[in-house]
Amino acid sequence: MHQIVAIAEYSRQALVELRGSSGIEYDHLTRGILHFYTEQKEFDDSLPMAKLMRDLGCPRESISADEVVKIEPALASIRNKIVGGDFTATDESGDVYKFTSSLARKAADAGVQFQYNTSVTRLIVEGAGSARRVTGVEVIDGEGRHQVLRADAFVIALGSYSQELLAPHGISLMIYPGKGYSATYPIIKGDLAPTVSLTDDGYKIVISRLGDRLRVAGTCELNGFGRDLNTTRCEALTRRTRELFPEACDFSNPTYWTGLRPLTPSNIPYIGRASIPNLFLNTGHGTLGWTMGCGSGKAIAEIICGRQPEVDFAFYGEPKSAGAVPRVQVAKA
């Protein structure tokens, strides 16, 4: 928790800076994230966790059921089922696809070359022992053309697929794909749809308003690398959302999607230096890749440039992170 709060907070600041300097638009809302609980035991269990988050500098407040509905009036119809909640006013939400595609356009305008529809098939490593270096990557494009790309430094940021390229070089990461589902519905009655981002703890789903759409995400299927849609899981998402906000959306034609969360046992990502000096890692962000993304990107850029990132996080491959005690100090709010 120490590690995750530190990198997430650093990331939030990096995102705010990036949004300010780039003007990226992605249906973002800065209205906080509200967890609501419908089981007394779950709520009771959440209290020490919220306190720990507060101690680490994240302003997560435990609140009553009435306060939950005051913060998000769209939950009024299920007020009698809610037993309590917690609220982090500084949290944000937005459309990650709009964010990343808009960021990629801006990067391309600034001279970055993207090669889409292209797979890396192999890292080319030369030398032995501490003199080992990655000298290139073999890639294959959508038309089956092979190519070798050369560079000074290489970052593995392949999510759940990272391990495959690293294993032949003796680098072992513990990453396993956790399939998640999302459903998006057009909003037809805006005043009945939530505007605060919500976590429905009982059903383990998150609900975000993205402009005139409502997006709901959840479930974690441990079932290899397949991304097919399981109809039962899709329908469960829609059933619960309809229960919560029956008249807010058009539920007749949802857009379903699945993605693989690159899970690590602790949910702490691998960010840092691999055992080959010019090879770097930025992967394994699990359930929180959007939350930790901007900070992770900023940190790995600093590390590649030989600078120490301004966040006390146990970066992979750094000598200081070898100890058993987490080397994190988070300023208290």
Ligand X SMILES: Cc1cc2nc3c(=O)[nH]c(=O)nc-3n(C[C@H](O)[C@H](O)[C@H](O)COP(=O)(O)OP(=O)(O)OC[C@H]3O[C@@H](n4cnc5c(N)ncnc54)[C@H](O)[C@@H]3O)c2cc1C
Q: By CB under 6 A, name the binding residues for ligand X.
A: 119-120, 157-161, 180-182, 206, 217, 259-262, 283, 285-291
Q: How far is the CB of 197 from ligand X (least distance, A)?
A: 8
Distance in Å, CB of 308 to ligand X, minimum: 23
Positive or negative, the Cα torsion across 104, 108, 114, 117?
A: positive
Give residue 125's identity as a one-letter amino acid code. V
Q: Which is nearer to ligand X, 211 or 259 (CB)?
A: 259
Nearest to ligand X of 28, 285 (CB atom): 285
Residue nearest to ligand X (CB): 289
Q: What does the H/E/C string look like for 253-308?
A: CCEEEEEEEEECCCCCCEEEECCCCCEEEEECCHHHHHHHHHHHHHHHHHHHCCCC
- Whichever of 74 and 206 has its CB closer to ligand X, that residue is 206
Rg (alpha carbons) of the chain, rounded to whole number: 21
Question: Which three-class secondary structure state does DSSP give residue 320?
Answer: helix
| Nearest distance, CB of residue 110 and ligand X, angstroms | 20
Nearest to 92 by CA among 293, 304, 238, 279: 293
* Residue with smaller CB distance to ligand X, 123 or 193: 123
Closest to ligand X by CB, 120 vs 236, is 120
Asked if residues 52 and 1 have their Cβ atoms less than 8 Å apart, the reply is yes
* Residue nearer to ligand X on the CB measure, 83 or 284: 284
Q: How far is the CB of 306 from ligand X (least distance, A)?
A: 23
Residues 6+ apart with CB under 8 A from 274: 156, 166, 171, 280, 281, 316, 317
> CA geometry: angle at 304 spanning 299 and 307, to 5°?
65
Beta bridge partners of 218: 181, 205
Provide, rounded to whole angstroms, the least separation between the CB of residue 215 and ligand X: 9
Q: Could you tell me the smallest distance in angstroms from the CB atom of residue 66 to ligand X?
A: 27
